[in-house]
Amino acid sequence: MNPGEFAEVEGVIRAATDAILSQQRPDGHWVYELEADATIPAEYVLLVHYLAETPNLELERKIGVYLRRIQGAHGGWPLYHDGAFDISATVKAYFALKMTGDDINAPHMARAREALHARGGAIKANVLPASCWRCMARPVGTMCPPCRWS
């Protein structure tokens, strides 16, 4: 690296450091929004319904708003902000929205379904969603080992 490039890198590092330090609270800590991908809230919805618990409708409404907001331009859901389509996250988010009452013919649901079909369908999801969907057909309390939530 020549001296000019080194100075440029140092400038970028300094600017990044200054930006982070400018957000530090007086007592020395930082606060940033912590946001889960679609799978965490989707799995919560699925678990509540699987256990036949009375859902918190206001929380489900908020989860629905969140899931619809983070749906990618590709029609599905990613594992990180603006990430690539993830078939397993998409299956979970789609199913959770369906369970909370979203119309399967709504534009966001149709986009997700088209994106899933274009990539081989829900059968291509990883082992956790695939095995959990099979287990959800079983009576409460008889979940198969890969789906235990504890």
- Percent of the chain at pLDDT > 90 equals 62
Task: List pLDDT tens digits, range 5-59.
Answer: 888 899 999 999 999 999 999 999 999 877 789 999 999 998 888 788 899 999 9
Task: List pLDDT tens digits, range 107-126.
Answer: 999 999 999 999 998 878 87
pLDDT at 6: 81
Calculate the average pLDDT of the chain.
Answer: 85
Quick one: which of 44, 136, 120 has its CA closest to 76? 120
pLDDT at 144: 47
Asked if 45 contacts 62 with a C-beta cutoff of 8 angstroms, the reply is no
3 state SS for 76-144: CECCCCCCCCEHHHHHHHHHHHHHCCCCCCCHHHHHHHHHHHHCCCHHHCCHHHHHHHHHHCCCCCCCC
How many CB atoms lie under 10 A from the CB of residue 134? 12
Residue 82 has pLDDT above 80, yes or no: yes
